[in-house]
Structure 1
Amino acid sequence: MKRFAPMSRRALLLGAGAATVGAMTAYGQGHAMRRIAPNRASETFNPDVDLDLICKRDEARILNGGPTRVWRYAGNLIKGPSNALTALPDTYLGPLLRFSKGQKVRIRLRNELPEETITHWHGLHVPMLMDGHPAAAIDPGETYVYEFEIRNRAGMYFYHPHTHEKTATQVYRGLVGGIIVEDDEERALRLPSGEFEIPLVIQDRSFDDDNQLAYGGDMHTSMFGFYGDRVLVNGRSNFTVDVASRPYRLRILNGSNVRIYKLCWDDRTPLTVIGVDGGLLEKAETRPYVMLAPAERVDLLVDFSGRPQGSKLTMLSGEFDSLIPPMAQRMMRSDLAVGEEYSLFTAKVMKASSDLWKLPEKLSTIRRIRGEEVANREDPIPIAITMAHMAMFLNGRPYGHDDIQPRERIPVDTTQLIDIFHEHGGMGMGMGMGMGRMEMMGGMGMMGGGMMRGRMGGMGMMRMMSMAHPIHLHGQQFEIIERSFEGDEDAYATIREGFIDSGLKDTVLVAPGERVRIVKPFGDFKGRFMYHCHNLEHEDAGMMREFSVE
């Protein structure tokens, strides 16, 4: 395995040939992004929580032997509750930030890296200047001051770089950290907390013989994303957590660049899901497994009661099919083949406990969007995913600063119906999954031209390149009202029960042959808000656009 060798977008474009370069340049690619000045602290903003966050080079002991050079976040709490910033031991992960809904937060981001960077608060509803837009990147030695109010409901969110064309490599080097938001509704449930609440960040990485991070810089990586050959949980290999025989809350983030996990226990104990990206579900759901794409979160209630001391329960990524093209599978160099079963982490029961706790039947109240609130019920906004040879597009265009198209201009304080689909799909209504939510939305699943279909052109190579894409929309969380499918039913059957579509989301996995219909508010803030594939290599290669909220 070669040492760290990131591939720039320029190298990707040159490798694609002059025709592709010409096409992308016509859409405004290849130009430097116009920067905005670093934000400064406001004299009128009185924060409840005030902290420093430093992006720096460091070393971490990840494997046996010598340390690994990493990039990481380090923090310092200046003002606020003592649990607002918790440094995590024995890991390169950034400190865990814990906020309460309604708090005012100031974060001073200081760049001590050898290149530009900026940080995005994934899932938080904040103004554009506080969102970590790539245009806000700061140079080495500079500081960017974020000031915002926590408007989100309780849930697990996270922070990571959103640097133009460098997000994948900066995250891969170690720049990521978790955010927990609390509110009164969740506190009243008295869910497992303290030592019985365990945040878990799952990533995959590769290492060379000197324990240094290894990263492919070839065309395969740029096209399909980088797959590591070793699973890390909370920055550690072969992760084991010691538990007592009582209920626990496991809050899991997929922090990988591209790898998708199918979470399931080795003894096939069903998973009890209590929350997703945007917080608690209205009631718990039991699933045999959960599909977790990059940037998605899942909140599990795990009851170890009755399990004897010394017993173990191992979380696996189970077998599945259909999420990456056969071409990518054949070319993959990772020892962890996508879709095969492998271990993620182990829970070991170390002590007995008599603590009793019953999961409430009702967890939360989600204020559902009504059909009459949607501004474009007859004309959904498309997000068409195109992946061809060296081409990463959304709606037929790569990312271009100041390249806002008419359908990307959104009136502020409106709610929009959005269709996300694979451009080459040629699909109809398929199985019509999610009909219940569709009916609740006043039949919007059948709006926008009757039968849902993609364009029939571009079959052949594009279909061969088809793979799953986790699509993330910045700003407020959205509701999934329909998921339809047309394709290989046997392959789809290996993943279909793993989608938790009843909660609020900010990232949704769109499998090959799927079309996902969502409703999303664009409230409170004007400005430009990104939407993109959270396969980070795809994001860097141009599968990113932005809405202009006006």
Structure 2
Amino acid sequence: MKRRSVFSLAALTGVSAVLGACSSEQQSPGGASAFTNRLRIPPLAKPETGKDGVKTFALALEAGGRSEFLPGKSTDTWGINGAYLGPTVRAARGDKVRMKVTNRLPETSTLHWHGMRLPARMDGGPHQMIEPGTTWTPEWTIDQAGMTSWFHPHLHEKTAMHVYRGLAGLFLIDDPSDPRLPDRYGVDDVPLIIQDKTFSSDGQFSTGRVDEGTYGLLGDTILVNGTYDPFLDVTTELVRFRLLNASNARVYRVGFADNRQFHVVGNDAGPLEKPVAVDRVKISPGERYEIVVRFAAGETVVMDSKGEDEKSANDIEEEDFRLLKIVATAKPAASPALPATLGGTATVAPAAGVRVRTFSLSGSEINDKDMDMNRIDEVVPAGALEIWEIDNTTFAHNFHIHEVAFRVLDVDGVAPAAYQAGPKDTVFVPKKAKVRLAVQFGGYTDPLSPYMFHCHILRHEDKGMMGQFVIVTPGTEEQVPRVLAAMAGHHHG
């Protein structure tokens, strides 16, 4: 296993800022990070609330950004409401939200609400294209557990490059009925968007391998919230970190250099039943984990990622990275005790006789088929609980299903680790492994508007490793056409 230092990126909104001085060690693989730059916290998006009570969030996809990441070098970037990355959208269960998405890019894009349970026409997948200069305005009522979600482009065959250039942001849902956890954004409730990049000698993002090779680009430079070589001052005993792997392909095993224990409190789609003590969490692209960490007065500790010692189950190259230096104040404010229960439920295996669907993953196909925008692969009755069996016949993948929340029943017949037992929408699938999921579908029906299931390694998704399903009124499954000729190339402006 090779070791590389982390070079986290300072993604600046608007004009470039001057970063702190950096030694040559920091800029070369194998050097030690000095953690000279304060971690950037993405700003909270400010909605406008109309007389109808709907909260409207305005988001603009923008090209032409200039961000100083490496000291003294300017990088061309894309962003949402700024030069790189986007603001954090925060709303509560029960809120009616409207997203006013304007495309100021020189090309067509989309914006997908990853992890949201909402009508398919509002999902932001490859059928909801936004042409340059136009605005798309989906709206829905939030009705799901408190969780950490995110948004990113999802256009067919070009998702990897759009995300890599900087189009991504967090979407947080609060549930007033949840037990109390640290929730002061940027203080004791801190988002961590983890990405890897490679820079050319002039400071530009290297893009040559984004659409090449087995996995696409695996970068040697780690970004955290768009901050280069970051540190964070913490002022409370407990801090909740919302981890998002927004990388195109890289897998991380996040923990701390001193191997301290911390607690996982939430998975992709909501809270666990109770806190789970761990010293590492494995997180593949698109996955999220909420963790709570205790800090002692005046201490300094480094959050890092460790590659697997044994790689028999995972052939994505894993390396060691230093992610973030955390410095605790000399007199941290007392935090409420971590709740003994979190409001989630235990995984219960579906009863005998439920529908079982099987999916075989190859290099870039699902069930020996490439993605076809006009083909419906699966038709599911609203509210169904099904078992989806994912049989990976080749190298490592991961699997994301839109709209749903699922539980991982087992991986090669073995139950998942306790910290992975909560509701999820994305799961890592090791090479040659079989994963069984208990999938709970929602109630939004539309026989003509599909949701996606796909590998969230973005190079694989773009190559065609994606399928489509519709949710319909129970009993009408056989009436649904499997060809969507009328939907092909359908754009929303």
Same fold by TM (over 0.5)?
Answer: yes
Cα offsets for 1:342-361 (capped at 9, x unmatched): 21111112332251421111
Counterpart residue identity of residue 267, structure 2: V
Cα offsets for 1:216-238 (capped at 9, x unmatched): 2487x342221111001001121
Report what 1:81 is aligned to: none
Report what 2:270 is aligned to: 279
Report what 1:265 is aligned to: 256
Contact 1:289 1:497 in 2 (8 A): no
Counterpart residue identity of residue 405, structure 2: Q
Contact 2:410 2:416 in 1 (8 A): no
Counterpart-to-counterpart distance in 2, 1:515 and 1:318: 24
Matched, 1:542 2:464: yes
Counterpart residue identity of residue 172, structure 2: I
Indicate the larger mover: 499-508 or 123-132.
499-508
Report what 1:52 is aligned to: 58
Counterpart-to-counterpart distance in 1, 2:360 and 2:213: 20
Contact 2:276 2:418 in 1 (8 A): no
- Among 413, 420, 442, which residue is 1:501 paired with? 420
Counterpart residue identity of residue 262, structure 2: L
Shift of 1:369: 5.8
Q: Please give the TM-score of this superposition, normalised by the length of structure 1.
A: 0.72
Contact 1:63 1:237 in 2 (8 A): yes
Counterpart-to-counterpart distance in 1, 2:319 and 2:312: 12
Report what 1:342 is aligned to: 321
Report what 1:155 is aligned to: 147
Matched, 1:65 2:53: no
Contact 2:76 2:205 in 1 (8 A): yes
Runs of 4+ in 1 over 6 A off after TM superposition: 323-326, 496-499
Shift of 1:52: 1.3
Cα offsets for 1:459-484 (capped at 9, x unmatched): xxxxxxx3221200000211112222
Report what 1:455 is aligned to: none
In structure 2, relative to structure 1, the CA distance for the partners of 1:126 and 1:161 (3 Å cut) is: same
Matched, 1:412 2:382: yes
Indicate the larger mover: 49-58 or 253-262.
49-58
Instruction: Give the percent of matched residue pairs that are identical in Structure 1 and Structure 2.
Output: 31
Contact 1:324 1:467 in 2 (8 A): no
Q: What secondary structure does 2:362 align onto?
A: strand
RMSD: 2.3
Report what 1:489 is aligned to: none
Cα offsets for 1:15-71 (capped at 9, x unmatched): xxxxxxxxxxxxxxxxxxxxxxxxxxxxx9945211211001112222211321111
Report what 1:231 is aligned to: 222
Counterpart-to-counterpart distance in 1, 2:104 and 2:127: 18
Counterpart-to-counterpart distance in 1, 2:283 and 2:100: 31
Counterpart residue identity of residue 146, structure 1: P
Aligned length in residues: 417
Q: Which residues of structure 2 form unaligned runs of 5+? A: 1-49, 473-493
Contact 1:115 1:140 in 2 (8 A): yes
Q: Which has the higher helix share?
A: 1
Indicate the larger mover: 241-250 or 498-507.
498-507
Q: How does 1:94-243 map to 2 (within 5 A)?
A: 94-186=86-178, 188-194=179-185, 195-217=187-209, 221-243=212-234
- Among 360, 364, 371, which residue is 2:339 paired with? 360
Report what 2:357 is aligned to: 381
Q: What secondary structure does 2:85 align onto?
A: coil
Q: What secondary structure does 1:213 align onto?
A: coil
In structure 2, relative to structure 1, the CA distance for the partners of 1:211 and 1:324 (3 Å cut) is: farther
Contact 2:58 2:101 in 1 (8 A): yes
Shift of 1:535: 0.2
- Among 431, 436, 451, which residue is 1:512 paired with? 431
Counterpart-to-counterpart distance in 1, 2:313 and 2:228: 25
Report what 2:367 is aligned to: 395
Q: Please give the TM-score of this superposition, normalised by the length of structure 2.
A: 0.80
Q: How does 1:319-334 map to 2 (within 5 A)?
A: 319-320=307-308, 321-322=310-311
Contact 1:290 1:499 in 2 (8 A): no
- Among 403, 406, 431, which residue is 1:478 paired with? 406
Contact 1:276 1:503 in 2 (8 A): yes
Report what 1:524 is aligned to: 443
Counterpart-to-counterpart distance in 2, 1:261 and 1:499: 18
- Among 448, 460, 469, which residue is 2:397 paired with? 469
Contact 1:287 1:497 in 2 (8 A): no
Contact 1:60 1:70 in 2 (8 A): yes
Q: What secondary structure does 2:249 align onto?
A: coil
Report what 1:17 is aligned to: none
In structure 2, relative to structure 1, the CA distance for the partners of 1:538 and 1:324 (3 Å cut) is: farther
Contact 2:454 2:466 in 1 (8 A): yes
Counterpart-to-counterpart distance in 1, 2:314 and 2:412: 20
Contact 1:100 1:183 in 2 (8 A): yes
Counterpart-to-counterpart distance in 2, 1:45 and 1:528: 32
Indicate the larger mover: 193-202 or 46-55.
46-55
Counterpart-to-counterpart distance in 1, 2:458 and 2:390: 18
Counterpart-to-counterpart distance in 2, 1:71 and 1:499: 38
Cα offsets for 1:161-200 (capped at 9, x unmatched): 00111100000000000011001122x4243524111011
Contact 1:46 1:104 in 2 (8 A): no
Shift of 1:317: 1.1
Counterpart-to-counterpart distance in 2, 1:340 and 1:190: 32
Q: Which residues of structure 1 form unaligned runs of 5+? A: 1-43, 76-90, 329-337, 424-465, 487-495
Counterpart residue identity of residue 293, structure 1: S
